[in-house]
């Protein structure tokens, strides 16, 4: 990368970042297969985005690749990981050790993206006192006593929808700066937090629209 540019405007940033995340996913896959060089056309074939859009997205963050040659997979992979802030370890607190939370912690996406779950909390007596992957499950009632927010980069909240707002509020008061939750409802984010939602009903709406 030979030069840097200011971050894109807020009204475009989310869509661009989502696409850049898919480019990183593609690069991980190609790197694992031993592919050394790729082109914008390869992105188009794999991810279904146009070559011009790939080039525009990448240009938001600097100059990448070599004209007439393409992109060095390992180099571009590291550069995009840096853009996304995934080139350094991020400590995660998982709220909710049940089915979905357990699936998340066993996902390879965590280790591939330098995300490490270091604390787990739950309110179900069936989980409290146990462990997942060697990480003790603490009682939610002791969140304020057990969680050191200065050592946490972000939270993943996998609890029932009615409980999400209360959990977000508590995390915000502790000083946790970011959280991702999974519920078909909006929450009010504390002023000191970035809070994102993954809502399956929204994704299903897009899917059924595309199916016609």
What 3-state DSSP class applies to 55? helix
Residue 144 pLDDT more than 90? yes
Start-to-end CA distance of the chain, whole Å, equals 42
Mean pLDDT of the chain, nearest integer: 88
Q: How many other C-beta atoms are found inside a 10 Å radius of the C-beta of residue 140? A: 20
Of 135, 119, 127, 125, nearest to 99 by C-alpha is 127
Question: For the whole model, what pTM was predicted?
Answer: 0.81
DSSP assignment of 115-141 equals EEEEEEEE--TTTTT-EETTEEEEEGG
Confidence label for 198 from pLDDT (cuts 50, 70 and 90): confident
Q: Give residue-wise pLDDT tens across range 7-42.
A: 444 456 788 998 999 999 999 999 999 999 999 999
pLDDT digits (tens, 9 = 90+) for 70-81: 999 999 999 999
């Amino acid at each position: 990368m030979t030069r840097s540019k200011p971050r894109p405007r807020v009204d475009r940033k989310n869509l661009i970042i989502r696409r850049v995340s898919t480019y990183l996913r593609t690069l991980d896959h190609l790197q694992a297969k031993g592919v050394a060089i790729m082109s914008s056309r390869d992105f188009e074939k794999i991810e279904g985005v146009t070559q011009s859009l790939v080039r525009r997205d990448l240009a938001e963050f600097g100059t990448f690749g070599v004209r007439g040659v393409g992109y060095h997979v390992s180099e571009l992979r590291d550069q995009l990981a840096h853009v996304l802030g995934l080139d350094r370890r991020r400590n995660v607190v998982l709220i909710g050790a049940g089915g979905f939370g357990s699936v998340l912690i066993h996902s390879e996406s965590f280790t591939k993206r330098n995300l490490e779950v270091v604390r787990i909390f739950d309110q179900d007596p069936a989980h409290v006192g146990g462990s997942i992957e060697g990480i003790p499950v603490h009682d939610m009632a002791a969140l304020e006593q057990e969680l050191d927010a200065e050592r946490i980069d972000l939270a993943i909240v996998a609890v029932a929808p009615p409980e999400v707002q209360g959990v977000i509020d508590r995390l915000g008061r502790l000083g946790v700066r970011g959280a991702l939750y999974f519920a078909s409802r909006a929450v009010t984010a504390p002023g000191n937090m970035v809070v994102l939602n993954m809502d399956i009903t929204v994704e299903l709406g897009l899917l059924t629209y595309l199916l016609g």
